[in-house]
């Protein structure tokens, strides 16, 4: 199934799978997450999230359509809590919620031959992110650290960048990465999310920054002169994700603990109004 193009196959031990099945799984999940699952096809993967009633990001997830229902690709550390939350909402719905032992893999890059493989799903966020696979038979040749470096190079935030119940999904770029369906109707936290989108009052976004030297400390303050412009999130040598105030980053001159940093806005992020 693999092409001659060098392809990285990385297991993602930080992720785990929940299997949903039963005649009511679509209607059950539809009212809970930011993504539309009523139109989810077998073999299709979509990004979504579970929000608090106040509209803050609680858990990220991918939903994969299968012949028997759906697989939820979630943070392994949060899987028990997510199962508990889903079970609480189940009531009389005919849906089974089961922890699966399928392992999660990232495959990058992923061509059409790769995507034709069984249990391989195109990453819905960006084509350059490749694919995700569940219970893959091929031998890994990479690791999660390499995948995280690849994701950060593309400017895409990940679970390490949002603290549960602290961030709005739009601030974490879920609207730009196809993680919110604004036409699907009601879901938990929908009112706040839709209002932010409708008003366009997005003051903060997660964007990558570059710098010289070793990683920056998580939570370190980013300054524009003497003004706070944001905070560092996950970081590697020379590059980090940051939560940035859009009205304070366009003039440049940013620093963290005296170290100059530069915002590198990805091409998938549309131009924003610095006066917002």
Domains contained in the chain, CATH given: 8-161 (3.30.1360.120), 203-263 (2.40.30)
Sequence-distant (6+) residues with CB within 8 A of 158 are 148, 151, 152, 234, 241
| Predicted local distance difference test score (pLDDT) of residue 2 | 39
Sign, CA dihedral 150-82-133-55, equals negative
Of the listed ranges 29-43, 79-93, 133-147, 261-275, the one predicted with least confidence:
261-275
Greater confidence, 92 or 164? 92
- pLDDT bin (cut points 50, 70, 90) of residue 21 is very high
* Spatial contact of 71 and 19, defined as CB atoms under 8 Å apart: yes
The pTM for the full model equals: 0.93
Strand order in the sheet with 15-21: 45-51, 57-66, 69-75, 15-21, 96-100
* Spatial contact of 143 and 10, defined as CB atoms under 8 Å apart: yes
| Predicted local distance difference test score (pLDDT) of residue 273 | 63
Greater confidence, 164 or 122? 122
Averaged confidence pLDDT in the chain: 92
Q: Is 225 exposed, middle or buried (0-12, 13-18, 19+ CB in 10 A)?
A: exposed
- pLDDT bin (cut points 50, 70, 90) of residue 3 is very low
| Predicted local distance difference test score (pLDDT) of residue 162 | 86
């Amino acid at each position: 199934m693999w092409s001659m193009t060098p392809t990285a196959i990385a297991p993602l031990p930080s992720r785990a799978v929940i299997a949903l099945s039963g005649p009511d799984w679509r209607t059950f999940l539809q009212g809970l997450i930011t993504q539309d699952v009523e139109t989810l096809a077998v073999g299709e993967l979509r990004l979504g999230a579970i929000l608090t009633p106040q509209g803050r990001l609680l858990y990220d997830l991918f939903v994969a359509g299968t012949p028997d229902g759906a697989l939820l690709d979630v943070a392994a550390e949060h899987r028990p809590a997510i199962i508990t939350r889903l079970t609480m909402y189940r009531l009389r719905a005919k849906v089974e919620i089961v922890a699966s032992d399928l392992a999660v893999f990232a495959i990058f890059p992923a061509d059409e031959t790769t995507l034709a493989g069984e249990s391989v799903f195109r990453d819905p966020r960006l084509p350059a992110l490749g694919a995700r696979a569940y219970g893959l038979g091929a031998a890994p040749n990479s690791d999660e650290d390499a995948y995280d470096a690849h994701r950060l190079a593309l400017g895409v935030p990940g679970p390490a960048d949002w603290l549960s119940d602290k961030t709005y999904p739009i601030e974490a770029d879920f609207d730009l990465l196809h993680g919110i369906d604004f036409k699907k109707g009601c879901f938990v936290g929908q009112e706040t999310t839709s209002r932010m989108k409708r008003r366009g009052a997005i003051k903060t976004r997660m964007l990558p920054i570059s710098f010289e030297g070793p990683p920056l400390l998580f939570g370190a303050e980013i300054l524009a002169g003497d003004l706070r412009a944001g905070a560092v999130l996950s970081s590697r040598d020379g590059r980090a994700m940051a939560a940035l105030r859009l009205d304070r980053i366009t003039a440049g001159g940013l620093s963290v603990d005296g170290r100059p940093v530069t915002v590198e806005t990805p091409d998938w992020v549309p131009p924003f109004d610095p006066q917002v």
